Amino acid sequence: MIRKHITEQTAIFFSVTKWVFLSSVVGVIIGAVVTLFLNILGYAEDSRSFLPFHYYYVLPFALLLTVWLVNTFAPSAEGHGTEKVIEAVHKQDGKINLAVIPIKLFATVVSIFAGASVGKEGPGAQIGAGVASALSDLFRFTKQDRKKLVICGISAGFATVFGTPVAGAIFGVEVLIIGVILYDVLLPSFIAGFAAFTTAQFLGIKYTYYNLHFYQNISLDMGLIAKVILAALFFGFVSDLVITSVSLTASYIKKIKVSAYTKAFVGGVIIVVLTLIFGEEYIGLGLDTISDVINPDPLFGTDVHWYTFLLKTVFTSLSLGAGGSGGIITPIFYIGATSGHAFGALLAPEHVVLFSALGFVSVLSATTNTPIASTIMAVELFGIDIAHYAALGAVISFLISGHRSIFSSQILAMKKSEMLSVKIGEEVEHINIDLEDSERHKISKLKDRLHIKREILKNRKRAKKD
């Protein structure tokens, strides 16, 4: 008995030591590489002022270049990054083409510089995962160890981009399978996230956090809680709209029988025309708009319209569908924050900033199926005082969005309703949903009863006439 106990503890000790070391090294390297990506991106955005015309005029040509780069050198760098990493983990034991790192970096910088409505976290996660995969191949790790390191790479990349090491770690282990957290990767993900975040700070990256500490003065208010629940339902439907818009736009553009380069150029022209009509606030990262609606001073959000989140959804869908390279989560933050602002302005003007913050994390939760990571992110970005409201909003919106995801390669491991018949273990894009037989039987009986009641009413009316 004692020998077994000593053997167990010794094995666990060496395993923990191994992963503390590996994840620390990988986290530091990823933190440095993603910091390089963020600095290059920052320089690119600053250089827009040197152009003698509006920077977004180059978008059609930028999308052409992006499509050529991806198609020629790294087809797996297509799209919004995180999706490809999830696919690699599930189908290729985490193996990622090394060419993805420079191509994804350059293609994203080009896309965002020209004004494509994409984000930087997907490339950050894909670059981080690519670095982890390359290191695994270099040192000839097993497939299982490579898979774990690649998941650490997702966490480290996410933490480096947003400055949320705990949420980044949880996101990496929660985003792969809906309804399951990979506890065996939890420790290395935490360490990789912290190591990457600390490295980025050491190298000069500055993060934006939002001081919503004044919400601690809000006492238990059933009316406010009811509004939060209502908002969460709204955010769930907004998330469904985002997922549908992005997937249908990409599907429709893919079916158009012209070359990918023609689609990219025409898509860029359409976005330029829409920008001239609606304004520049819907292109690029949109971080200024996010800051405005989450600023405690309500004057900052006065120029944000109720339909802003709808237009951002259109711009993002077109940017990704036409071949833009970049992430989807930053646009999701924008859509969530502005939809929360619209909800708050209509139903809770005194708490409009709170609802902007709740939309920020709730739409993330629902579109990516990561309610725990989203709740923790709310605490890291906005403070502990928002935690209970954020948890409520994140979980309800996660359920309301249904068995769908912005990442179609996620695997389903749970049903969001016992009334539905859903096959567990399928990828989201292949899921068929139907009512359970018992529920179908209940509905059938209810329909029969209604039919009988209608017939009785008709007979009574006829009897009265006679």
Q: What digits encode the pLDDT tens for the residues 342-399? A: 999 999 888 899 999 999 999 999 999 999 999 999 999 988 888 889 999 999 999 9
**Chain Cα centroid distance, residue 193:** 17
Q: Is the pTM of this model over 0.75?
A: yes
Q: How confident is the model at residue 180 (pLDDT cuts 50, 70, 90)?
A: confident
Q: Indicate the average pLDDT of the chain.
A: 88
Residues 55-61, mean pLDDT to the nearest whole number: 96
- β-partners of residue 420 are 435
Q: What is the pLDDT of residues 398-422, one digit of tens each?
A: 999 988 899 988 998 888 888 887 8
First to last CA, the chain: 91
Q: How confident is the model at residue 264 (pLDDT cuts 50, 70, 90)?
A: very high
pLDDT of residue 451: 61
Which amino acid is it at 405? S
pLDDT of residue 226: 94
Question: Which residue has better confidence, 437 or 305?
Answer: 305
pLDDT of residue 281: 93
Q: How confident is the model at residue 182 (pLDDT cuts 50, 70, 90)?
A: confident
The dihedral over CA atoms of 82, 83, 85, 90, expressed in degrees to the nearest 10, equals: 140
pLDDT of residue 384: 84
Rounded to whole angstroms, the Cα distance separating 384 from 330 reads 22
Rounded to whole angstroms, the Cα distance separating 171 from 372 reads 8
pLDDT at 214 over 60: no
Domains of the chain plus CATH, in order, are: 2-202 (1.10.3080.10), 213-395 (1.10.3080.10)
Q: What is the pLDDT of residues 272-330, one digit of tens each?
A: 999 999 999 999 999 999 999 988 776 677 788 999 999 999 999 999 999 998 889 99
pLDDT at 156 over 60: yes
Q: What is the pLDDT of residues 315-347, one digit of tens each?
A: 999 999 999 988 899 999 999 999 999 999 999
Rounded to whole angstroms, the Cα distance separating 179 from 343 reads 29
Rounded to whole angstroms, the Cα distance separating 216 from 233 reads 24
Query: Do the Cβ atoms of 353 and 212 come closer than 8 Å?
Result: yes
Q: What is the pLDDT of residues 446-458, one digit of tens each?
A: 555 666 666 666 6
- β-partners of residue 327 are 119
Coil vs helix vs strand at 168? helix
pLDDT at 234 over 90: yes
